[in-house]
Amino acid sequence: MLFGLPYYLILVIPLAGSLVVPLAGRFSEKLRDWTPALLMGITMILCWSLFPDIGSPQGPTSWPWIEALGLRFEVLLDPLSVIMAVLSSTLCFLIYVYSTEYMAHEGDRDRFFFLMLAFGGGMLTLVLSNNLLIAFIGWEIMGFCSYGLIGFWNDRKNPPETDPTGIESKNPLLRFETEGQYNTHCGTKAFVVTRVGDAFMLGGILLLFMFTGTFSFTEMAADAQSWWQILSSVGLLFPTFLLIFAGAIGKSGQAPLDVWLPEAMAGPTSVSALIHAATMVKAGIYITARFLVTMASAADSGVVPEILPPSFDSAASFFTVVAIVGGVTAFMTATMGMVSNELKQVLAFSTLSQLGYMMLAMGTGGLLISYQEAYMSGILHIISHGAFKALLFLAAGGVIHVVHTKYLSKMGGLKQYMPKTFIVMWIGVLALSGIPPFSGFWSKDSIIEYAYDLALHNDVGIFLFILAILAAACTIFYSIRLMGMAFYGPSRGVASTEDMSASLGHESHGHSEQEPHTEHEEPHDPGRAMMCPLYILAAFTIVAFAVFPFVEAVLFSEGPMTVSVWTSVLTEMVLVKLTMPGLVPFVFTLGALALGGIPAYILYIGRSDRPNTAIPDAGIRKRLYGFLKHRWYINEFYYWIVGGVLRFTSSWKSKIDDRIIDGIDFGSARTAISASKRIRWFDDHIVDGFAEEISTASVAASESSEVIETGRVNDYVAVLMFGVGVLVILALISLGVI
């Protein structure tokens, strides 16, 4: 509907509006800070108004971009993209509102709000585009904005705050002199790691285009049968989708490219919330879901058994990979979260773990006979996770804002100082760990339920089900640990505020410069612009179950919602947990919650008078702790490789450029010297001094050529002739002689 406006406005408003932000800054600081919130508010309203249009044709908005490639710009209005657009724009709006207060004392807000708004625009481009390539452009816009935003605080001069329980890294790449360097490094890391996935993805997109002849999702879905069969007949179906999935792995931080997200916490909290809840990391899930829908749309239900028998193996193996990657990520990152000492990093690990659940849901959907239910549970989890994760991050930002440290072991006892934050944080944490009736329970438990369903048919399913259950246990453990360490126990945050502020913690730099008096105040709840989004999100988290029937209706175009339908869906949601076969996974989940929750409660809340920094100091528990603290050594492994590559390039430069080529030259100089010495010795008495002149001249000649840079002409010619040889050999091979 869009009130009669053209659809592309939804993308143009944030993207073009981001350019206006610095201009607005010339007139008024306040106007500039509120511009993103305002524009995103408009966009949000437009997105909400898309609901009646789902499924409508796109004729007039189609704009030919590159005719030679058949590249057209179209807006895709199907349930998935509209739900994603509504979710992203709404969360972006709330986060921008929050940022107006949160960032109020920071410098260079032009850059910040420009990147924030462009980020939102990139996400909307991704989800609303009907064109894989243009979606990819949105994808890349987000990548670049994340780079700028994560490294936003690049001007911090203070040395980075060290983790009291941390492990000293020996890698020279990880030594930072200032906080700013660390932040820059984190931004670069996020960009480069996701770009690795992106490169594979672009390769996959091009490969897919080769067989489908179109970038358009709808056209792809229309003749899925034919390209599907061609692709599988040449054996490229599985590789193509794996390549595309590599992009999703990178963006959504799935194993093994999960390493960038925990460091992405270096940015301001609103950035973390934006990346985790509303945009970026959801992109990978979205693309996977999009392909699930596209593949499944060729038939009424189920990707694998019915519709495409010839390529059974490829489709099944692809979705098996998706499910396994999801399950492993969910479990692996949840265990890492159990030992992290950084408030936001715990949340980051929880994001990774929840994303793993979503990926698991997508994979399960592709493997089950009927994809809809598992797919829907994944979408519901995207929605509920978006809300509660935004809530948690924004609340955590408030905490860090007032206690001036990011480390949990330096917090504690904040309950009495920040009662409102304390309550909303509990709501978020309960939803995260999947306690009924909060939003997270409904979505996560149904994902586990379908994993169980898969386990009944499939051996891989058993493995996935176990992983999902264990991850749920870990989730509640770190959730309660987080609350216990931050809010319960002796109020260490206040007692040591002085030395905290003396050491100028993570978030306090710009803040303390302008408002030094706040440092010595007691921690307190943040102001209205920061709390309002929190209340909205908390309210949604509690009543989400009432919204889910609507989502389901939209997702499967089930027609108008009536009260009777709504109540029946709700009853079914509850009943399915209490009757067979849904009862079995439900009981398992409850067991897992008890398994993780009770020890955590005893350790971190029950004995709240005890210091909350207990670290196992011996035996298997210590080794396990170290293993988890090192994040399964995956991160270090990458650094080891990157360090190796860097050493290689510099050694190539120093060895080949400097040593070998110089060596040749020094060699020739030495030969010249020794030769000329011999000549002199031989000829000394005959041609007096003549030879000496030769030797000095040749030495001088070779020395003079050594002055500039590295290159020597004679070596260049030698390399050129060597190249001729290489090419001749190549040609002989291509002629079939060798």
Partner 1 sequence: MFQLFTPIVDLIRAILSPITQQLLQFIPSDWLGSMPALTLVGFAVIALVVGIRWNPLPVSFIGVLVVTIEMIVLDPVSSFGGLFVRDAFSDFFIYIILIVGFLVLMSSTLHSGDQGPYNFLLLMSFAGAILVVTATDLIALFLAWELMSTPTYVLTALSPNRGAVDGATKYFVMGLMATTLMIFGIALVYGVTGQTSLSVLSSTVATIWSSGPGLSPAAYTLMLAMILFVISFGFKVGIFPGWMWVPDTYSTADGSVTSYLAGATKKAGVSALVRILMVAFIVARLSWAPLIVGVSILTMVIGNVLALAQRKIMRMLAYSSIAMMGYLMIGLAAGTELGVAAAFFQAFVHALMKTGAFILVWTISVRLARDVTYDDLAGLSQRAPLASAMFAVLMLALAGMPLTAGFWSKLILFQSAVEVGMWWLALIGLLNSVFSLGYYLRVLKYCYMIEPKDGSPLKLASVPVMAVVLCVVGVIAFFVFPGAILDYAIGAAAGIVVP
Q: Select the span of 45-53, 311-319, 521-529, 724-732 touching partner 1 (CB under 8 A).
A: 724-732
My answer on whether omega of the bond before 560 falls inside 30° of 0, hence cis, is no
Contacts of 86 (CB under 8 A, 6+ apart): 44, 47, 48, 50, 51
Smallest distance, partner 1 to C-beta of residue 239, A: 9
Q: Select the span of 356-364, 376-384, 622-630, 643-651 touching partner 1 (CB under 8 A).
A: 643-651
| Of residues 41 and 250, the one with the C-beta less far from partner 1 | 250
154 binds partner 1 (CB under 8 A): yes
Q: Select the span of 41-49, 427-435, 441-449, 722-730 touching partner 1 (CB under 8 A).
A: 722-730
Of 44, 36, 35, 38, the residue nearest 10 (C-alpha): 44
Q: Which of 168, 685, 734, 738 binds partner 1 (CB under 8 A)?
A: 734
Q: Which of 49, 58, 188, 698 binds partner 1 (CB under 8 A)?
A: 188
Q: Is residue 134 a contact partner of residue 127, using CB atoms and an 8 Å limit? A: no
| Torsion sign (Cα): 354, 130, 97, 49 | negative
**Residues 316 to 375: which contact partner 1 by CB under 8 A?**
none
Q: Select the span of 6-14, 53-61, 187-195, 414-422 touching partner 1 (CB under 8 A).
A: 187-195
Q: Is residue 349 a contact partner of residue 412, using CB atoms and an 8 Å limit? A: no
| Of residues 207 and 570, the one with the C-beta less far from partner 1 | 207
Of 409, 446, 431, the residue nearest 476 (C-alpha): 431
Contact mark string toward partner 1, 54..93, x via CB under 8 A: -----------xxxxx------------------------
| Of residues 209 and 217, the one with the C-beta less far from partner 1 | 209
The Cα 566–Cα 545 span in angstroms is 11
The vertex-378 CA angle with 376 and 384, nearest 5°, equals 100
Q: Which of 184, 214, 364, 612 binds partner 1 (CB under 8 A)?
A: 184
Smallest distance, partner 1 to C-beta of residue 188, A: 6
Q: Which of 456, 543, 587, 724 binds partner 1 (CB under 8 A)?
A: 724
**Residues 647 to 666: which contact partner 1 by CB under 8 A?**
648-650, 652-653, 657
| Of residues 108 and 519, the one with the C-beta less far from partner 1 | 108
| Of residues 181 and 613, the one with the C-beta less far from partner 1 | 181
Of 494, 492, 491, the residue nearest 522 (C-alpha): 494
Contact mark string toward partner 1, 130..149, x via CB under 8 A: ---x--xx--xx--x--x--
Task: Give the length of the chain.
Answer: 738
3-state class (DSSP) for residue 131: strand
Q: Is residue 681 a contact partner of residue 692, using CB atoms and an 8 Å limit? A: no
708 binds partner 1 (CB under 8 A): yes
238 binds partner 1 (CB under 8 A): no
Label residues 353-380 b or e (16+ Cβ within 10 Å = b).
bbbbbbbbbbbbbbbbeebbbbbbbbbb
716 binds partner 1 (CB under 8 A): yes
738 binds partner 1 (CB under 8 A): no
206 binds partner 1 (CB under 8 A): yes
Give the bridge partners for 407, in sequence order.
342
**Residues 542 to 571: which contact partner 1 by CB under 8 A?**
none
Burial of 44 (0-12, 13-18, 19+ CB in 10 A): buried
The Cα 431–Cα 408 span in angstroms is 21
The H-or-E segment that residue 71 falls in is: strand 71-73
Q: What residue ranges bind partner 1 (CB under 8 A)? A: 65-69, 133, 136-137, 140-141, 144, 147, 151, 154-155, 180, 184, 188, 191-192, 195-196, 198-200, 202-203, 206-207, 209-210, 646, 648-650, 652-653, 657, 707-709, 711, 713, 715-717, 719-720, 722-724, 726-728, 730-731, 733-737
